[in-house]
């Protein structure tokens, strides 16, 4: 999909990403696109050899390529050589975003701000937002329409709360945090205990949620408050859409979790953990630093060895899980072979008995 951008020249882009330019520096860039879709006036990139076919067929104006890549055939595009084409292209996208984004400002009406709330400098509060008693909203933060900040909530500097974000009482959001639309921070943890008559008694959820600096949380994610203490999302964590994080969970620094994952109460993920989509992690589990969990895995035990590769249902060592899957796929053939051997054995036994 192409998107219109403010115009750049190839020379400006090369300077922006510290690349080596091959071609006309005055070439105009009007759009950006994936290499398989890039056309006239667009800028794109090629980071992997598997896209080389698209490279030769592209009519893009500018293509960012690896430093060492040597084209086998001539191309019409201006080339910019860099060490890491993907990272360079992200830099171009960031520049585009900074030029296209119009930052809203001021306090729109109708909105409610409690008299005891402390509002920082140069903030934006969108219409129909509700800022409760004793809230602290930091400098340069943006609260888009229909957000709710409960009593005693703290939001730091340069935060962005997209439309419909709900943050329950006593939760703490540090600086440079982005929370996307529909996310709920600090709802009660799922805690109940059975009564003698079999009914369920709710366990009071008296803690909060603490989100450290530079965290980004996708749309419609839920992070439950702790029963006691804090549910903790550490610095640099990136969460996808539609994630459930239960009470008293700790997510370590710079971990990444893909969509539709659910994490049970009091589980602890180490630093730099990567979790694929639709993963289920039961309560009270520990996952070591640097571990990777494959999509749709079900984690039911601790993995305390750093940089573990985890996969499957139930989850275990990634390489062994792939071997198990190969055996599983071959079960029909193995069953047929066993039946053939059983039949042959019975036939041989019958022949021997005559």
The residues assigned a catalytic role are 247
Q: Which residues have a Cβ under 8 Å from the Cβ of 217 and sit 6 or more positions away?
A: 177, 178, 179, 180, 183, 185, 211, 223, 233, 239
Number of residues that this document lists for the chain: 354
What backbone torsions phi and psi does residue 202 show, to the nearest 5 degrees?
Answer: -70, 135
In contact, 176 and 158? CB cutoff 8 Å: yes
Query: Distance (Å, rounded) from C-alpha 309 to C-alpha 287?
Result: 11
Query: Distance (Å, rounded) from C-alpha 88 to C-alpha 79?
Result: 13
- Give the dihedral of Cα atoms 300, 301, 303, 304; nearest 10 deg: 150
Helix (H) or strand (E) holding 99: helix 85-100
User: For 124-131, which contacts have Cβ atoms below 8 Å and span 24 or more sequence positions?
Assistant: 126/163
Query: Distance (Å, rounded) from C-alpha 81 to C-alpha 92?
Result: 14
């Amino acid at each position: 999909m192409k998107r219109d951008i403010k115009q750049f020249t190839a020379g400006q882009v090369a300077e922006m990403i510290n690349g080596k330019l091959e071609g006309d520096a005055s070439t105009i860039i009007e759009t950006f696109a994936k290499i398989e879709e890039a056309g006239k006036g667009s800028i794109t990139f090629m980071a992997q050899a598997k896209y080389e076919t698209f490279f030769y067929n592209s009519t893009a104006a500018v293509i960012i390529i690896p430093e060492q890549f040597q084209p086998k055939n001539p191309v019409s595009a201006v080339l910019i050589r860099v060490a890491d084409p993907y990272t360079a292209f992200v830099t171009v996208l960031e520049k585009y975003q900074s030029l296209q984004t119009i930052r809203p400002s001021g306090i729109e009406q109708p909105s409610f701000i409690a008299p005891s709330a402390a509002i920082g400098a140069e903030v934006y509060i969108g219409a129909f937002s509700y800022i409760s008693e004793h809230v602290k909203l930091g400098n340069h933060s943006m609260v888009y329409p229909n957000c709710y900040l409960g009593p005693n909530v703290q939001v730091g500097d340069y935060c962005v709360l997209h439309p419909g974000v709900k943050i329950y009482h006593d939760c703490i959001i540090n600086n440079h945090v982005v929370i996307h639309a529909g996310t709920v921070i600090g709802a009660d943890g799922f805690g109940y205990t059975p009564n003698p008559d079999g009914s369920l008694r709710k366990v009071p959820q008296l803690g909060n949620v603490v989100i450290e600096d530079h965290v980004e949380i996708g749309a419609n994610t839920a992070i439950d408050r702790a029963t006691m203490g804090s549910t903790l999302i550490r610095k640099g964590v990136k969460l996808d859409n539609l994630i459930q994080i239960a009470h008293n969970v700790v997510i370590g620094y710079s971990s990444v979790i893909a969509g539709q994952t659910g994490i049970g109460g009091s589980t602890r993920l180490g630093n730099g953990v990567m979790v694929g989509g639709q993963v289920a992690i039961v309560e009270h589990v520990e996952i070591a630093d640097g571990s990777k969990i494959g999509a749709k895995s079900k984690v039911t035990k601790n993995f305390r060895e750093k940089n573990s590769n985890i996969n499957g249902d139930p989850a275990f060592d990634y390489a062994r899980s792939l071997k198990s899957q190969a055996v599983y796929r071959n079960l029909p053939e193995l069953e047929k072979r066993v039946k053939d051997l059983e039949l042959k054995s019975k036939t041989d036994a019958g022949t021997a008995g005559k």
